[in-house]
Structure 1
Amino acid sequence: MTLNPCLDRTLVVPAWKPGDSVRGKAIRDVVGGKGNNVARALKRLGRSATPVTFLGGAAGETCHSLLKSEDGLDPILVETNSPTRVILTVATEGTTDQTAFFDPDPEIAQAEADELVARVERALSEPGVEALTLSGSSPSHTTHGVYSELISLARARRIPVFLDTYGPALEAIWGFWPTAIQMNRREAAMRLGRSTVDDEDVVGLLRDWKRRGVACGIVTDGPDPALIQFGETLYEAVPPEIEVRNPIGSGDSMLAGLVDAWLKRAEPEAILRHAVACAAANAAVWDAGAIDPETVERLESEVEIEPL
C-alpha cells in the first residue's frame, strides 16, 4: 500500500545553473511512492504483488497505465478528486547531481480513505494473501489512521504486516502493532523528537517496538551499518560496498527483500542478509525497485551480519 503515490519524472539536462534556459536531453516517467517500489521489487524477486493506492487526475491516469504496461502490475485503486502529485527530478548529464521538486500533497476525502480501507479489507479476506506492506507518509488528516486500521484487520487474520512509515501515520498506531517496522535514522530522530540520534537512542527505540510485539525492527543509516532487533537478538548489518547510481527506493527494496525471505521461513541472519542485499542492488540501478535477482544473490555474500 502507498497512501501518497506520485508520478516520478526524471529530466536529464546538460550542466546548468539557476536562471539558465535549459533544454532537456531525455525524460523518463516511473510510478513512484514507496509501496509501488516495494511491489516492483517483489515482482523482480518472483513474488505476486498487488499495489494499493490512490490515483487522481491526468498524472494518476498516467500512473495507472504505467503500472499495468511497464510494471505488469494489477493495482487496487481508489480514484480521488485531488490530482496525484508529480515529482520532477532534474539530473545533470554525466554526473550524479540531481535535484527533486515535489508537488504539494493531495487532499484525500474521508469517503475516499474509507473506500480504500474497505477494498483492502475485502482483498485480505481472499485466499492466498501472504503479507501486507504499508509504506510511506500519510498525505492528509483523513489518511493518518489508515495504517493502524489495516494493521488490526490483517493481524486479526494472522497475516504478517510490514510497516515503513513515519510522522502522523506512525503516531496514530495503537492496539495491534505490525510484525516488522523499518525506518531510517532521520525518521527515528523524528519519532523521538530529536534532531539526531545515536546508537543508544536507536537501540532504545528498537527495544520499545519489541515490547509492543514487533518481531523485527530495523533502523537503517544509508551505506552505514543498520541496527536490527530480531526476536531476542540485536544485530548490526553492514551493507556491501557498491557503485551507487541512485539510492532512492533502496529502503523499499530492503522491505521487499525482508518480506520475500520472511515468507520463505529463512533463519533470521539469512532474512537480514537478503534484505540488505536487495537494498544495495537497488542503489546500483536508476529505477526504484528495479532490482536484479542475480545481483542480489551475489551481494548477499558481501553483507556482514553481526549479533551484538
Structure 2
Amino acid sequence: MITTVTLNAAIDKTYFVDGFELGRVSRASRMISYPGGKGVNVARVAYLLGGPVRATGFVGGSNGSYIERQLEQQGIANDFVRVEGESRLCLNIIDPVNGRSTELLEQGPEIEEAQAAAMKHKIRELAAQSKIVTLSGSLPKGLPASFYAELIAIVRAEGAMAFLDASGDALVQGIQAKPFLIKPNEDEVEKILGKKLERVEDVYSSVYQLMRDGIRCVVVSLGAEGSVAGYDGIVYRIHAPRIEAVNTVGCGDSFVAGMAVALERGDSIQQALKLATATGTANALMPEAGNVRLEDVSLFLEQVRIETIA
C-alpha cells in the first residue's frame, strides 16, 4: 500500500480568467473545485494509475468534511486526523490568454500538541501496513520544522520507504532523518548544500553528494527540462517530452505518484523514472492539479528518454 500524508490539506479552486489583471474586477469563465494539498494530489494520481493508496493528514471544519467526502466519492480511501478550525482554501487563477498562473494560498488551521501526537500515532499505524509513505507539502502552523524528520523516523522504524517532497527548513531538517527519496528543485538543493548550481554538471555532483549523505534516491526537478536523478550511487539524466502546458501546478505531485506506484509494484528505477516523468507531463495537460488521463501517460511513457551519467 501507498500512504500519502498531507499535513495542510486544502480545497483547491482553479479559476479561468481571460486577461486577468490585478486591481480590477474580473469574471471567471470557468471554475473547478476539488480536494487538494500536495499529498492529496499524490493520492489521486496514484489511484488513477491503479496503485493501492490511502490518504491521511489533518482536516478541519466544513472544508475538511468536503475533502473527505469528495475523496470518498472519487474512490480514494482516506483516514484523516480531525482538528479545530477550517482546512484552507487555495486559489489558482489561470489566464488562458497568456498562460500565466497566479496562486493564493491560505495558511490553514493551527495544530495543537495533542493533534500532532495523534498524527504520529496514525502514521505509525498506516506505515506498518504500507510499502511507501509520501510526505508532501507545507507544515501547518503549530508544528516545528523538525516534524517531517520525526515522521520519517517513524516510517523507517515500521519498515516502509519515506518519500519527502517539501521545501525550506522542513526539507533541510527532514533530510537529517534519511528518507528513501527526496525531490527538491535546483533552488532547494542550493539551500541544502549551501552552494550555487550554475551548470547541469553541478546538479550531477550535488546528487552524488546527497546520495553519499544517506539519501538512496534523489530527484532534482529541472522544470520543462526534465530532471536529474540519483539511485544507489548512479546518476541519470531524464528528458521529458515537450508539450504546450495548460497548468503546471501539481506536476511534481504527479511525478511523486508515478514513482510511488512503480516502486510499490517492484519496477526498476529506470521504469519508475519513466512512469514518474510521463505522469508529471500528463498532469500539465489538465486544467486541475493532480489529475491525468491514462492515455496521455501511455503516450508520454514512450517519449521519455533516460541517459546514465555514471
Fold in common (TM above 0.5): yes
SS of the residue corresponding to residue 79 of structure 1 reads strand
Cα distance change of structure 1 residues 176 and 93 upon mapping to structure 2, 3 Å threshold: closer
Equivalent positions of 1:134-173 (< 5 A) are 134-173=135-174
Q: Is 1:86 aligned to 2:89, yes or no?
A: yes
- Aligned-partner Cα distance in 2 for 1:223–1:174: 25
SS of the equivalent of 1:132 reads strand
Give the AA of the match of 1:239.
Answer: A
Change (3 A) 1:5 1:189: farther
With the length of structure 1 as denominator, give the TM-score of the two structures. Answer: 0.90
Please give the residue correspondences for 1:152-301 in structure 2 after superposition, counting only pairs within 5 Å. Answer: 152-173=153-174, 176-193=177-194, 198-301=199-302
Output the aligned Cα RMSD: 2.2
Q: 1:195 to 1:90 in 2, by over 3 A?
A: farther
Other-structure match for 2:118:
115
Name the residue aligned to 2:15.
11
Structure 2 gap segments, 5+ residues each: none
Asked if the contact 1:49–1:73 (Cα under 8 Å) also holds between the matched residues in 2, the reply is: yes
Which of 60, 72, 76 lines up with 2:75 in the alignment?
A: 72
- Structure 1 residues 37 and 4, CA gap change in structure 2 (3 angstroms): same
Contact 2:112 2:142 in 1 (8 A): no
Aligned residue-pair number: 305
Measured in 1, the distance between the counterparts of 2:71 and 2:61 equals 15
1:98 alignment counterpart: 101
Match of 1:22 among 26, 51, 60: 26
DSSP 3-state at the match of 2:54: coil
Q: Partner residue of 1:43?
A: 47
In 1: Cα distance, 2:133 partner to 2:7 partner: 14
What SS does structure 2 have at the residue aligned with 1:108?
coil
Q: Deviations over 1:40-80 (max 9, x none)?
A: 010011012111111123322222222222x3222221122
Q: 1:209 to 1:82 in 2, by over 3 A?
A: farther
TM-score scaled by structure 2?
0.90
Distance in 2 of aligned mates of 1:250 and 1:99: 16
The sequence identity of aligned pairs, in percent, is 30
> 1:175 and 1:181 mapped to 2: Cα distance?
12
Q: In the superposition, relative to structure 1, how do residues 18 and 212 fare at CA in structure 2: closer, same or farther (>3 Å)?
A: closer
Cα distance in 2, alignment partners of residues 14 and 228 from structure 1:
38
AA aligned opposite 1:111: A
